[in-house]
């Protein structure tokens, strides 16, 4: 099904450079995977991680490398491609889309590290997967000669079992409190951390988002990057990767790494509901659901929320690339707006799924079929801090009122 309320995709998508066949190819490849990924969804949940064949399919399609620098064979597509491909995969299985978006985005972030870090990773394997956990208080680092000593226990490292490296966020402690707090990201090889199997979750079950523990590791200076260097504009990796893609403000755009997952999951839920409602009759009075005004209204309400969410998400990504190409770095007010809109748009998707789940009646109670998984996954996605509207909205309101931002990553 094309998708309720959506026009046929016969032209160039908004925000994509004319003739960008690489973008069109990658979105088409993601879309082509939908049937087989839906067929594997139950297996993915049972395994609590991506099946090897799914991971292989993503590699073979080149999807993990869509925002990797061209100089190492990546596609180096605009940032919106990450969202659009995640939406397509999310229409099949949110767990697959979640791991795709997470792991692909780390090629983008590595492009902002010192080139020595890039070479250390990509010279050995350009297809290597990199996990992450950007929970800064989970780690403690201290400066030593040539680098840092790092320790900590980080939760929610999605897809970590498939990865050779991990980007772990930490607070850097100092003997002198006057130095203030520094947030830094550390690129750590799997030999220096232990995976702790904790991922038994109600939603996004197939993401394998386990904990990782570092007891005491040395991380060389070039294998780290300060959060302040990722705030927009030139980065330590800019000389090697001058594309505006690698000058984007990472943490103000952070919600859009994953928001396409919520969008695809919600669109699939809507499409499935409409397909069923077209021919289903009520168990109690044999009335056709398609003739019921309540059914029609729920479809309209859910589709409006999903379409609005898509517009917000894509506009944010497209505008960010346009700003970066002009050398413009958004101020704190613009960054808090980006975080606000990222959370709000995902909340819209969650609301749409909840509307459709409730409208489906007892059908949604069965553990078989896609609906219950779409409902669980929608709420699991929404639980991510990046999509907590209370947090994003509070910070936006603070800055709008002339108070300092409480988000130290912006």
**Cα separation of 284 and 122, whole Å?**
61
* 169 strand-pairing partners: 185
Q: Which helix (H) or strand (E) holds 172?
A: strand 165-173
Residue 284 has a pLDDT of: 54
- How crowded is residue 333: how many other Cβ atoms within 10 Å of its Cβ? 12
Nearest alpha-carbon partner for 242 in 104, 67, 75, 112: 112
Parallel, antiparallel or unpaired: strands 147-157 and 194-196: unpaired
Residue 1 has a pLDDT of: 41
The residues of the chain scoring below 50 in pLDDT are 1-2, 5-12, 18-19
**Cα separation of 117 and 114, whole Å?**
6
**Cα separation of 226 and 318, whole Å?**
25
pTM, two decimal places:
0.93
Residue linked to tokens 């020595």 = 116
């Amino acid at each position: 099904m094309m998708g309720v309320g959506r026009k046929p995709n016969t032209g160039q998508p908004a925000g994509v450079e004319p003739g960008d066949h690489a973008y069109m190819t990658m979105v088409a490849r993601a879309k082509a995977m939908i049937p087989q990924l839906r067929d594997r969804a139950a297996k993915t949940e049972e395994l609590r991680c991506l099946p090897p064949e799914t991971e292989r399919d993503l590699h073979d399609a080149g999807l993990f490398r869509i925002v990797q620098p061209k100089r190492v064979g990546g596609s180096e597509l605009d940032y919106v491609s990450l969202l659009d491909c995640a939406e397509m995969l999310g229409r099949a299985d949110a767990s697959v889309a979640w791991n795709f978006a997470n792991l692909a985005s780390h090629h983008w972030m590595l492009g902002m590290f010192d080139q020595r870090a890039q070479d250390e990773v990509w010279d050995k394997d350009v297809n290597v997967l990199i996990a992450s956990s950007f929970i800064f208080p989970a780690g403690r680092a201290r400066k030593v000669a040539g680098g840092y000593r790092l320790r900590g226990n980080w939760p929610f490292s999605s897809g970590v079992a498939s990865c050779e490296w991990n980007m772990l966020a930490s607070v850097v402690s100092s003997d002198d409190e006057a130095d203030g707090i520094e947030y830094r990201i550390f690129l750590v090889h799997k030999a220096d951390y232990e995976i702790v199997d904790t991922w038994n979750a109600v939603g996004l079950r197939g993401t394998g988002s386990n904990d990782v523990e570092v007891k005491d590791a040395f991380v060389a200076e070039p294998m780290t990057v300060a959060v302040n260097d990722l705030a927009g504009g030139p980065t330590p990796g800019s000389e090697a990767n001058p594309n505006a893609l690698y000058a984007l403000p990472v943490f103000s755009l952070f919600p859009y790494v994953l928001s396409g997952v919520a969008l695809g999951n919600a669109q699939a839920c809507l499409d499935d509901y409409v397909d069923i409602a077209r021919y289903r009759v009520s168990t109690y009075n044999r009335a056709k659901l398609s003739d019921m005004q309540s059914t029609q209204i729920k479809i309209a309400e859910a589709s409006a929320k999903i379409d609005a969410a898509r517009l917000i998400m894509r506009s944010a990504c497209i505008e960010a690339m346009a700003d970066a190409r002009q050398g413009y770095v958004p101020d704190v007010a613009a960054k808090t707006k980006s975080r606000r809109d990222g959370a709000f748009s995902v909340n819209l998707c969650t609301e749409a799924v909840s509307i459709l789940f409730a409208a489906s009646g007892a059908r949604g109670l069965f553990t078989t079929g896609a609906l219950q998984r779409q409902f669980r996954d929608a709420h699991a996605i929404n639980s991510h801090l990046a999509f907590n509207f209370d947090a994003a909205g509070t910070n936006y309101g603070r800055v709008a009122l002339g108070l300092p931002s409480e988000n130290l990553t912006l």
